[in-house]
Amino acid sequence: MYRERPAIKVLDGILITGACLSTFLYEISNWFIALTVVMAIAAFILPGFHAKDVAGARLRVCSYGNTILSVFPYTLLVVIPVFIASLFFTEQLGGWKPVIVYACVTIGILNAYFWTGIILVYLTSKQIGLSKRLIGIFCGMIPVANLFVLSWIVKIATREIREESERYWRNEARKADQVCKTRYPILMVHGVFFRDSEHLNYWGRVPEELIKNGATVFYGGQESAGDVHTCALQIKKAIVRVLQETGAEKVNIIAHSKGGLDSRYCISMLGMAPYVASLTTVNTPHRGCEFAEYLMNNAPEKLKNTVAAAYNKGARALGDINPDFVKAVTDLTKDGVARLNAEMAPMESQFNGIYTQSFGSKLNHATSGRFPLNMSYYFVKYFDGYNDGLVGEDSFKWGSEYHFLTNKGLRGISHADMIDLNRENIDGFDVREFYIGVVHGLKERGL
């Protein structure tokens, strides 16, 4: 298992600091030149030993660079005061030459040391996003501020290295158990305004994690923006295809957002109940969104048509057959879902024998969420109460079991966090382990 090695960081700090300070001793003997070189080389090699328990080449390189960045500020706390003090003792040191040599060698060594660390971390970390990288570049030349930003970057990278390594070893430990190897394959059904994509998976890092733990995963592949009836037909085709490819009798559906409504309609209205073992809905608006209804009722017709035309054109280019922005949003309004629920109600008895469960989450504060949900949070709250940035809390509950997820602190868990859209590790909520738990629960039920 992964563990920190502070002794390596301390020793590396001593080596890189010693390499700088030894330059004052050149006048005594040329052997101190060799000492400087040896200590500097050793300081560049030693961080590699800190990555012993780190999983994977990418994380090991990140750990190497991050160890350097962890040591760098403490080295400055020694070499800068020593340089300032040397300015007052030039006569005792034999003139300005030792001071100039010390300054030049120290700048050269520490520049090489720092840039090695920052470049490797920037190239290999996935949790230090573009905005954080830009902040790091912008503040790099601002004294004091650059050290605060550096500590921020080190903290993020350290957490990533620790969490991803622990995840790797945890998966290795349970590999033989195949905790997600369900009886029936998993069909993951996406929500509105996205498509399943090989290159930008709607579900982020979740499917890969499920597959590592034994799951067989397929995708709904419905329109990104279509009415529920159309999308349900496409999900029906996906179910038939999965059954044909796998020889399975049924599928387990895990659906997010509007995908939950599409799946319910597919099961209750399109004769798919005999072929579905379970339906899990995640942050689905089972009672619609009042905020969406307000927008549809009050937005100028010209604006709606312009937005719809632009979206539909882009959606066709990305694979939609017949996208319809307006119909998709209308089916998510409070009245739209009420009509769908009324239509499905007489047929929902078909869910007898199908295990059903639902999940919802709450975004605690808009300021800590990611764009664009931080923009919509307060608007949705005005109409729908506490919400995940898009859907109100009262709309999530459906099925035989319901679970409401939140965490402590400012952030909470947004609509996008529930599908790992930003590939971001969140305090107090591990989205990949959440889905591992969901699928393992299906396995435990014999599904």
357 beta partners = 280, 401
CA distance 48 to 52: 8
CA distance 337 to 281: 15
Length of the chain, please?
447
pLDDT computed for residue 139 by the predictor: 78
Please give the span between the terminal C-alpha atoms of the chain, in angstroms, as a whole number.
Answer: 32
Topology of the domain covering 177-444: Rossmann fold (3.40.50)
CA distance 383 to 290: 6
CA distance 99 to 82: 10
CA distance 183 to 442: 9
3-state secondary structure of 218: strand
pLDDT computed for residue 120 by the predictor: 93
All structural domains of the chain with their residue ranges: 6-171, 177-444
pLDDT computed for residue 331 by the predictor: 87
Q: What is the pLDDT of residues 77-100, one digit of tens each?
A: 888 888 788 777 766 666 677 778
pLDDT computed for residue 324 by the predictor: 82
Residues 6 or more apart in contact with residue 295 via CB below 8 angstroms? 329
Number of Cβ within 10 Å of residue 133's Cβ equals 15
Q: What is the pLDDT of residues 144-167, one digit of tens each?
A: 788 888 898 999 999 999 899 889
pLDDT computed for residue 130 by the predictor: 81
Helix boundaries (H) for 180-300: 206-212, 228-246, 258-269, 290-298
CA distance 256 to 269: 19
Give me the phi and psi of 166, to 5 degrees please: -65, -35
CA distance 161 to 2: 9
pLDDT computed for residue 203 by the predictor: 93
Taking each helix axis as running N to C, give the angle between helix 57-86 and helix 145-173, from 0 to 180 degrees, rounded to the nearest 10. 150
| Mean pLDDT taken over the chain | 87
The ranges of the chain with pLDDT < 70 are 1-2, 25-32, 90-95, 198-199, 366-374
What percent helix, strand, coil does the chain show, rounded to 5? 60, 10, 30
CB 17 within 8 A of CB 79: yes
pLDDT computed for residue 182 by the predictor: 97
Helix boundaries (H) for 125-144: 130-139
For residue 11, give the amino acid letter.
Answer: L
For residue 321, give the amino acid letter.
Answer: I
